[in-house]
Amino acid sequence: MQTTAARVDLHKIGQGSIMADANGGEYEARLRRVEKEHEDFRLDLRQLLTAQVIQKDQIDKLLAGLEKEAEERRLETERLREKDIILDRRVDDLVSAIGDLIRRIPPQNLIGSSAG
């Protein structure tokens, strides 16, 4: 398959020497070549459009999966945050209870006390 630059050159040639060709043989050959290139281009375009549709479908599926994963992560984070709040309350309650217990012990009974 020829490049776009080659197609442009054929187009320029078609406006010049092809039309002026007296025997028509060269004109017919070039015309067939241009028609073949045009058909090749149409096939390439069709393949590119098909690939684009397939790629878009794959991207949509990937995006849906990522959105689902993000929602699951958000819910998990929320659940862990709620557990963390509960755990913080329980630790606060435990520290408070230990503090109350220690305050009830007479100072002379505490280990390391110099009052004994």
For 38-94, how does the pLDDT look when each residue is reduced to its tens digit (9 = 90+)? 999 999 999 999 999 999 999 999 999 999 999 999 999 999 999 999 999 999 999
pLDDT of residue 109: 80
Domain total of the chain? 1
62 within domain boundaries: yes
Q: How far apart are CA 14 and CA 19, in angstroms?
A: 7
SS (H, E, C) 42-91: HHHHHHHHHHHHHHHHHHHHHHHHHHHHHHHHHHHHHHHHHHHHHHHHHH
Burial class (CB in 10 A: 0-12, 13-18, 19+), 55: exposed
Please check whether residue 110 lies inside any domain of the structure.
no
Residue 25: which pLDDT band, with cuts at 50, 70 and 90?
A: confident
The closest of 14, 7, 61, 59 to 36, measured between CA atoms, is 7
Residue 112 counted as domain residue? no
**Is residue 116 domain-resident?**
no
What does DSSP assign to residue 106?
Answer: -
Q: Is there a domain that residue 113 lies in?
A: no
**Residues contacting 110, CB < 8 A, separation 6+:** 102
Would the pLDDT of 1 be above 50? no
Residue 115 lies in a domain: no
Higher pLDDT, 10 or 61: 61
Range of 100's domain? 4-105
Is residue 75, in this structure, part of any structural domain at all? Answer: yes
